Amino acid sequence: MQVVVEPPAFRRALCRARAEGERIGLVPTMGSLHAGHRALMALAAAAHRHVAVSIFVNPLQFDRPEDLAGYPRDLGADLRACEEAGVATVFAPSDADMLPSGTATSVSVAGLGDRWEGSSRPGHLAGVATVVAKLFSLAGPCAAYFGEKDFQQLALVRRMAADLSMPVEVVGCPTVREPDGLALSSRNALLSPAERRAATVLWRALEAGRAAVAEGEDRPETVASAMSGTITAEPLASVDYAAAVDAADLTVPASLSQPAALRLLVAARIGSVRLIDNCAAPRPAEPVEDDRGLTAARAS
């Protein structure tokens, strides 16, 4: 496994691999790798001889300085996780390498980038799009793996790659969950034991929303209320948003019967830690697939 720090070295490493006929699977991460990332690496490895992982805590996507400062980091553990996963190239640039002084360009996605996380965390999604665009430019033709846990981010990156004709296939991967339903997230490490127990409220809210949709509820506000009510009932939690949306563009439809597919979104603060989660919501006529996601035990 090679670890490169400078952007041109990363570009050269992947160019060399491509020249040797290898297909590239790219897994962009902010480090602090957990079983969710391991699932992404495993999926990438199943389809591509050369798996590259980037580890970069992107300052542009943090709307609060204290959130950036407190974001968990452990490069040594991350490199071991990559090594174990059979990763060929790790790209771990510094802030100054990725965002040198004078950087002025940003990439934004209208509509999709303005809702939910876009309005709750101003600048967050443009920060994601900008750094992912740069990463894609450096990587060149590849397939890039993103978790469905950040469903809006996945939709945004997919839209950006299509709109700008980037030579990148964007692949979404099922959310990996703890046995009690909590979606894996690097931020979970910031929860106290009591908060960790309370954090299952996001999944319980999604289950409440799913049950309402499965029973035929077609008013989005009623499903949203079922979810936010579940969160509000948990003393350590405060709801940021809860919504039943069109899975394609994340808008709230007039009736839940309209969109081709539905998605439920929740964001809440557990103590001071902000967590998000989402799931599909099959309507009565639709087949109920097991998209509870993978459990952490199955994924590792």
Question: Does residue 17 belong to the site contacting a second copy (CB under 8 A)?
Answer: no
Here's the x/- map for a second copy, 159-198, by CB under 8 A: it reads as xx--xxxxx-------------------------------
Integer Cα distance of 1 and 54 in angstroms: 13
Does the annotation count 48 as an active-site position?
no
Give residue for tokens 């999926």: 43
CB of residue 150 to a second copy, shortest distance in Å:
18
Catalytic residue from among 34, 37, 48, 124: 37
- What's the closest the beta carbon of residue 59 comes to a second copy, in angstroms? 15
Q: How far apart are CA 95 and CA 101, in angstroms?
A: 10
Contact letters (x/-) for a second copy, 115-134, by CB under 8 A? --------------xx--xx
Question: Given CA atoms 270, 186, 43, 47 in this order, what sign does their dihedral have?
Answer: positive
- Of the pair 17, 183, the CB lying nearest a second copy is at 17
184 φψ region: left (φ > 0), alpha (ψ -120 to 50), beta (else): beta
Q: Does 295 bind a second copy (CB under 8 A)?
A: no
Of residues 165 and 255, the one with the C-beta less far from a second copy: 165
The least distance separating a second copy from the CB of residue 209, rounded to whole angstroms, comes to: 27
Q: Which is nearer to a second copy, 111 or 229 (CB)?
A: 111
Residue number with CB closer to a second copy (149 or 159): 159
Give whole-number Cα distances, 92 to 9, 28, 74, 97, 142, in Å: 11, 10, 12, 10, 18
Which letter does DSSP use for residue 180 in this model? T
Cα dihedral sign, 60-66-69-72: negative
Among 94, 106, 119, 258, binds a second copy (CB under 8 A): 106
**Out of 59, 70, 140, 271, the residue judged to bind a second copy by CB under 8 A:** 140
Cβ 68 to a second copy, closest distance in Å?
20
Task: In whole angstroms, give the CA distance from residue 300 to residue 296.
Answer: 6
User: Encoding tokens for residue 183?
Assistant: 């979606």
* CA gap 235, 194 in Å, rounded: 11
Catalytic residues: 37
Where does this chain bind a second copy (CB under 8 A)? 7, 11, 103-113, 129-130, 133-134, 137-138, 140, 159-160, 163-167
